[in-house]
Amino acid sequence: MSITAYGRDGAPRNRIGFGDDVAVSAGLTIAGDPPMFVADAVADPITGLYAAAAGLACLGATRSHLVDASLFRATRYVAHDSSSPAVSARLGAAAAPPRARTATAAAEAVGASTDEIVATFVPDARRDGRAKMPGPRSGEGDL
């Protein structure tokens, strides 16, 4: 069982993602100005359910399987794209143990691309100067 943000194959295979940002990139948002999350970290339980179902389906199989459960694909499937599978499995695949990936570049500063991302959901935001995300209000985000 492999659960990743964007899958094990293709160009986005090395992208890092978490429940909220992957759900938004998969199109699971509530329209508005600004757009809002549907639920907190919703891609995680969606993917977990599909991964559990796929794992159960593999029980008792006579061959090994590698199940690739992608937060992005599972959430996109639930959101609006039922044309591609939420998870995929390869028969007889040998799965290597997890390994650390080598960093190929330094990460950008926190929030460096926020304006650009918000502008993709609210196209007029950049022109109107509304692309800035509001900061937390007093008490928000405190543990």
User: What are the structural domains of the chain?
Assistant: 2-94+107-128 (3.40.50.10540)
What is the mean predicted confidence (pLDDT) over 88-116? 73
Q: Which of 43, 3, 40, 11 is nearest to 27 (CA)?
A: 43
* pLDDT, tens only, 56-99: 888 877 888 888 889 998 888 887 766 666 666 665 556 666 67
* pLDDT, tens only, 14-43: 788 888 888 888 888 888 888 788 888 888
Q: What is the pLDDT of residue 143?
A: 43
* pLDDT, tens only, 124-143: 655 555 545 555 555 544 44
Question: What tokens were used for 129?
Answer: 């100067």
Strand (E) or helix (H) holding 65: strand 65-70
Whether 35 contacts 121, CB under 8 Å: yes
Looking at per-residue pLDDT, the higher value among 52 and 124 belongs to 52
